[in-house]
Structure 1
């Protein structure tokens, strides 16, 4: 790319090139009124096709639809030129992006958790608008001058679905893509975005993608089989809590059904790790079902003895058929805990009792209406609830260790893991070769931790196992183990 390729844009003054991608170049311009820096993404002329032009227009429309979100890069305008070119004018985020930062420095666990929750806010909001990003990776996360992440490059975003729902291939970034997308079983959905977000956070902790082998073959063809069948490696960092290792492995499960099903669910897990580590709480900002901006935070906790007895905490009631809560002014972020000062004189004891009754009734109404559905954020929270102990991080089962023993006409697989619970059960995949294990059907083992496979003498048998908890969460899968029948 060169300055000569930068288009002349009314009201903007060219400054310098910023970078180049597969089908577009990005330049820094200065907008003259009001005066500020903007980034301009310009379609390359070489290899320009109708599909690429349509993809570029779709990106502009998608980002504009989500432009108000604080963690999605804002698009100011889009133009198509008379000679068939096109450009986007976007908010400028100074270098480096998160890929460059992760390569140059070691990001703290606190920063990765915070960025993960904020990005999950953006992804969940996009999903609620029916938009799947399909290319979440560190290079597509910019950082503002105030340290806030901005998700960008919705160029291959779409409405999701399976591969048969589209009539053309979609390019993907292999190191952070889910196996079902790489192997054409899906064109991407909310669960594949969850996978890519988890792979991005793993990358930020380690400085490389999860299945990249330092000094090894990391071509797309070498990475794809690892992504499909190799268990998610640990980060190898002593300061990364086990709960975060388990959460990332869970979110990068090979089967989409075994992952958190929404970005919001992944964000909740990240918030639980924050609380476990006693880190500052990071807010989630999403659009609710009515299209209103709201926070989706878990209830905040205070250390014992720090509660403010001069304040009463009241949260907006959200139950079926209840009146809508008062909306915040446009563009305002709803606070996680809006504490309203309450001055109570000694002669208004009856008023205090009435307030306590109202709180009790509110909780009862919420309990009656919730049924078997997951409740919205807690409607009413008394000051007593605020002194509760911090919630524990989700207790994912440990990765099982798989063993195999050969016998005449059979191979017996056995496994074990730390922290077994009474109602745990196992899910086993068995195949005649290591490469076929990922496509094998699931065998459920509810009694014991052993399974025998009949096989002809001299024939190999391979297996992989994962543990499932009654609550529906899964352990990371074991390494694949192969043995030859006797």
Structure 2
């Protein structure tokens, strides 16, 4: 089915799609925007409508350089849609594939750049608040396809259809399981809901894939992958091959991927500091 650009915009090209959204680049006046629509199957499903409302709500509620901004929402003959700002970039998934096609891993300096800036962005987003207190923002679906490296080295986080934040209505809650095999075991098993802690696990898994280029679980089908991740997590022994990181940093990454949530790194800030310790000014007292 041809993508229908909203009235007043011009279709440029498809950007991708999945089980919920079809995503296209459109042009409005002199600027390019991302248009998201529900795929036909999702139009009739509660989960699809919820994902659209939730992402639009989040993008209208918070602002951060690593996140897109909502431009407008609408409804037409093809159903509901929303427009958000577009930022060019290459996903971690595409980055890994590109270097694999050259017979190599992503270079160490590039791995470290993406890792530190992605964790910094996640830590800042998790810490967002307003006059009423913390916003408790959760991305909910981090993975290699949802972390982008921009042309100037900026790192962005996209696809927030599974996001959560303070004040989210109960009717917008769904049983999201994230993207396998990057979802935390307690999410895959259905024992827990997405949280900032499970965001940290998913980001650590994404960075492990970036650093090694390896498959993170042995299963190949979705059902088998779900069972493997739910029962024992991913192949975190692959951290030993993440040569972009020093030994202490690999230990921090290994800890962040522990299948037992009580033994993991507690926050994105903590993991970011473990990979890129911030030099402190000397105490001159």
TM-score normalised per structure 2: 0.82
**C-alpha distance in 2, partners of 1:167/1:151?**
21
SS of 1:104's partner is helix
Match of 1:263 in 2: 268
In 2, are the aligned partners of 1:141 and 1:149 still within 8 Å (CA)? yes
Match of 2:7 in 1: 9
In 2, are the aligned partners of 1:234 and 1:245 still within 8 Å (CA)? no
Show CA shifts across 1:144-172 (max 9, x none): 22121110111011249xxx999642242
Show CA shifts across 1:233-255 (max 9, x none): 13425554222321111000111
Higher relative contact order (CA 8 A, sep 6+): 2
SS of 1:176's partner is coil
Show CA shifts across 1:57-101 (max 9, x none): 21012123333x2222x2232322144722222222335321111
Report 1:12-411 matches (<5 A). 12-32=9-29, 35-48=30-43, 49-67=45-63, 69-72=64-67, 74-83=68-77, 85-94=79-88, 96-105=90-99, 106-128=105-127, 129-159=135-165, 168-211=174-217, 213=218, 217-227=219-229, 228-229=231-232, 232-235=236-239, 236=241, 238-272=243-277, 298-299=278-279, 381=281
Show CA shifts across 1:274-330 (max 9, x none): xxxxxxxxxxxxxxxxxxxxxxxx236xxxxxxxxxxxxxxxxxxxxxxxxxxxxxx
In 2, are the aligned partners of 1:41 and 1:88 still within 8 Å (CA)? yes
Q: Relative to structure 1, is the Cα distance of residues 157 and 93 closer, same or farther in structure 2, using a 3 angstrom cutoff?
A: same
Show CA shifts across 1:115-170 (max 9, x none): 2222223322332321211110010112322121110111011249xxx9996422
Q: Relative to structure 1, is the Cα distance of residues 52 and 113 closer, same or farther in structure 2, using a 3 angstrom cutoff?
A: same
C-alpha displacement of 1:209? 4.2
SS of 2:276's partner is helix
Q: Relative to structure 1, is the Cα distance of residues 239 and 95 closer, same or farther in structure 2, using a 3 angstrom cutoff?
A: closer
TM-score normalised per structure 1: 0.50
Q: Which has the larger radius of gyration?
A: 1
Match of 1:332 in 2: none
**C-alpha distance in 2, partners of 1:137/1:239?**
19
Match of 2:132 in 1: none
**C-alpha distance in 1, partners of 2:283/2:232?**
49
Structure 1 stretches of 5 or more lacking a match?
A: 273-297, 301-380, 386-486
RMSD: 2.8
C-alpha displacement of 1:50? 3.9
**C-alpha distance in 2, partners of 1:130/1:92?**
25
Report how many aligned residue pairs link the two structures.
266
In 1, are the aligned partners of 2:177 and 2:190 still within 8 Å (CA)? no
Point out the structure with the larger helix share.
2
Show CA shifts across 1:201-235 (max 9, x none): 00111224422x4xxx4223333454332661134
**C-alpha distance in 2, partners of 1:47/1:83?**
15
Q: Relative to structure 1, is the Cα distance of residues 46 and 229 closer, same or farther in structure 2, using a 3 angstrom cutoff?
A: closer
SS of 1:19's partner is strand
SS of 1:175's partner is coil
Q: Relative to structure 1, is the Cα distance of residues 209 and 199 closer, same or farther in structure 2, using a 3 angstrom cutoff?
A: farther
In 2, are the aligned partners of 1:180 and 1:186 still within 8 Å (CA)? yes
